[in-house]
Chains A and B, each alone.
Chain A
C-alpha cells in the first residue's frame, strides 16, 4: 500500500490484512515507513519483533537501529576500528543510518517473511510515495555498483592492507568480512527484486483521496511504479463524503469531489475500491475490520485484481520489442537512451536503468514511441 502522505495508507493496510485473514489466509503485516504508525492505528504497541495482532495476522515494524544490531556487525566493526581513537559507538551507528538504508532494511524484511514459509500474504504499509520509489530504485543502484566496482574495491583493499599494516593504519582498510557482508546483502536485495517485479506475486495498491493535489501526485506515482516494474492492481479511494454530509456546510466540497472522482476514473484504468469518510476516527482491530468489510464486501483482498506485467519483451519475426506501461504520461516527458547493457528511461524527474537481457546488449534502438500509454522500444 502506498500513496501521498496522510491519505490513510496505514488504516487500509491493516484493513487489507484483516480482510485477507477473514478469508483464511495467514497474513504478515509489515510497516516499512520509518515514521511507523501501525501501533498508533491499532492503539497498541507493535515493535521490531513480529507480534500477533488478530487471529491470522502477525505484524512488525522494521527498525533500522535493531536491524543494525542484528546483522551489520561486520560493517560496524570496520567503522569502529576506523574510529578507534574516538571509540564512539553511537557515532558508528548513526553513520550507517543514512537515507536509503531504511528502505533497504524494509526490502530485506520482505524477503525474511517469504523465507519463513509460514505466510500466504504479506501486506506492506509503505512510506509515502517518494520514499517508496527510492526503495524500488535501490536494487538497480546496488546492481550497477556491484557490477562495476565491487571487485575492484575488494582488490584495492587487499593491495592496500599490507601497506597500511606497516604504518599501523590497517583499520582504515575494510577486511574481507566486510566485503562478504556486502555480497550477502546484494544477494538478499536481488531476491527481493525478483519478488517485487513478479506481477503474479506482488502488486501495488494506491490509496488516494478525492482532492486535486493528491490525485495529481498519485497519477505520477502510478506511472513511476510501472517504470520500476511493479504492477498496480487496484486503487482505493478513501474519505469520500457520504450522502448525509453533502448537503450542508460541505456542499461545495462535495461538488469538487465529484469532479475529482471523474478524474480518478479517467486516470486509473484499474479496479477501484471506495471507502467513505466516517463520522468518527477508526482505531483498533474492530473499527478496521468494519473498514475492511465496507471496502471489500465479500471479495478477498488478497486476490490480484489486475494481472499484468508493466514491462514486457516481445519477439516477432526476428525483431525484439520492449514494452513499458506508462499511463498518463505524455511523449515530451519521456527520454530513452541505451548505454551498453542498460536502457535508461527517464519519465519527468524519475529515471530507471533497466538491465537488458544478454541478447539485446549493445544493440541500437531502431525506434521508440508512445502508443496508448505504452512505451514501445524496438531494437535493431
Chain B
C-alpha cells in the first residue's frame, strides 16, 4: 500500500490517481481510496465515486470514504450512549448527534475503512490519497494515541461497573453507560487499533511525500518526514510536481525561475537521500481522466514499478553495547536544538517540536537509566547504563 501526503495544493490527488491507473494498466489489481474529507479524487478520475469500491477500468477500483457512516459503524454503541445522554437533557436528536461527534473518531474510522478494503478486497495494490500533511499525520499516529484514551475509559469503567453503577443509578441524574458501550471501546482498543497500527507500520506500506519546487512546501515535507519516522511510518519516495519543462524554461519570463527550480530539485535529492525523487512537469492543462493520468504516471515512474517499495526505511534498533544498551531511532532532518529526549518510567519520550512519542522500551533496557543522547547520522542515539547503586 502507498499513502500520498504533502502540503495543500501540491497535486496529491493527481499523483495518487495516476499511480493507481499505471499499476492497473500493468496488470495489478488496484484500489485507489480518498481519505481526505474534501474529496477530489472523483473530479480527477472524472467519475462519481461512492463509499464502496466502484470499477472504473479493468483492474482498477476507486472509492471515497464516507466518514459519517463509517463512524456510525465502528462507534455505534458509544455514540448511541452519548446521544441518549444528551437527549435525556431535552436536547433534540439532531443537536445530540452533532455533539456526539467524538474527537479523533473520524481519523480512526477513515483508516479502518481503508484497512478493511485493503485486507478483504483481494487487491494486489492499494493507493491512498491522504489529507494535507498535518491531518494525515494525525490520522496515521492516531491509533497509538487513541489506545491511551481508551485505557482511561476502561479504567473508569472498571470502577463504575464494579461498585458505582448499581448504587449511582438512584443518585445521579444521568443515564449511565451500559456494558456494550465498553465492549465497543474494548473491541476498538484491543483488536481494531492494534490491527491499524500493524497495518500502518507494515513493511509493505509506505508513505510518499508530494512536493513542488518551492521552499515552503519542501520545509513542511521535511518536518513530516521526521514525524513519520518518529512513529515508524516509512517513506519510500518523494514526488516533485510542477517542474517547468525545457520548452517553457527558455522563455525570458521563466529563465530565473527554472534555475531556482533546478536548485530546489538538487537540494531535495540531497536532503531526502536515499529516497528516490520522482519528477513530473508543470502541465499547461488540467490532468484528468484515465488516459491523461496514465501519461502523467509514465513520465513520473519511467521504468520503476509504481507498486514496489522504492526504498526501505531504517528501523528503530536496540543494541547491547559496553556497559549497557544503545537505542537508535532514525529521525531524518531532525535538529538537536528542537529535540526533547527523556526516559519516563518504561518509555523513551521523544519530542520533535511538533509531535511527541512515548516509545515503550524492552524490559531489559527499561531497568536502566538514560545516560546520554545525541543526534548522529540522521538518527537519535540514546545510551542506557545501569544506575549507580543498582545491582
Q: Which residues of A contact B (CB under 8 A)?
A: 4-7, 10, 34-35, 37, 40-41, 43, 65, 79, 82-83, 85-91, 93-95, 97-101, 128, 130, 141, 144-145, 148-149, 152, 155-156, 159-160, 163-164, 167, 169, 172, 209, 212-214, 217, 242, 244-245, 248-253, 256, 279-281, 283, 337, 339, 342, 344, 351, 353
User: Known interface pairs A6-B9, A99-B104. Does A167 touch B356 (Cβ–Cβ under 8 Å)?
Assistant: no
Are the C-beta atoms of A281 and B247 separated by less than 8 Å?
no
Q: Which B228-253 residues sit within 8 Å CB-CB of chain A?
A: 245, 247-248, 251-253
Shortest beta-carbon distance from A203 to chain B in Å: 23
Shortest beta-carbon distance from B317 to chain A in Å: 22
Which B-chain residue is minimally distant from A47 (CB atoms)? B353
Are the C-beta atoms of A88 and B103 separated by less than 8 Å?
no
Are the C-beta atoms of B38 and A130 separated by less than 8 Å?
yes
Are the C-beta atoms of B152 and A35 separated by less than 8 Å?
no
Q: Which residues of B contact A (CB under 8 A)?
A: 7-10, 37-38, 40, 43, 86, 89-92, 94-95, 98-99, 103-104, 106-107, 132-134, 138, 145, 148-149, 151-152, 155-156, 159, 163-164, 167-168, 171-174, 214-217, 219-220, 245, 247-248, 251-257, 260, 284-286, 344-345, 347, 349, 351, 356-358
Could you tell me the distance between the alpha carbons of A344 and B357 in the complex, rounded to whole angstroms?
A: 41
- Given A164-B164, A251-B284, A279-B254; 17 other pairs, CB 8 A cutoff: A5-B7, A35-B132, A40-B216, A83-B152, A83-B155, A87-B345, A90-B349, A91-B148, A91-B358, A97-B145, A144-B95, A152-B173, A167-B163, A209-B9, A213-B43, A250-B248, A253-B285
Residues of B within 8 A of A214 (CB): 9
Are the C-beta atoms of A40 and B138 separated by less than 8 Å?
no
Residues of A within 8 A of B159 (CB): 164, 167, 169, 172
Residues of A within 8 A of B94 (CB): 337, 339, 344
Are the C-beta atoms of B168 and A99 separated by less than 8 Å?
no
Residues of A within 8 A of B104 (CB): 98-99
Are the C-beta atoms of B168 and A37 separated by less than 8 Å?
no
Shortest beta-carbon distance from A103 to chain B in Å: 11
Could you tell me the distance between the alpha carbons of A339 and B115 in the complex, rounded to whole angstroms?
A: 40
Residues of A within 8 A of B133 (CB): 35
Residues of B within 8 A of A160 (CB): 164, 168, 171-172
Residues of A within 8 A of B357 (CB): 90
User: Known interface pairs A90-B356, A249-B251. Does A98 touch B347 (Cβ–Cβ under 8 Å)?
Assistant: no
Are the C-beta atoms of A152 and B174 separated by less than 8 Å?
yes
Residues of A within 8 A of B345 (CB): 87-88
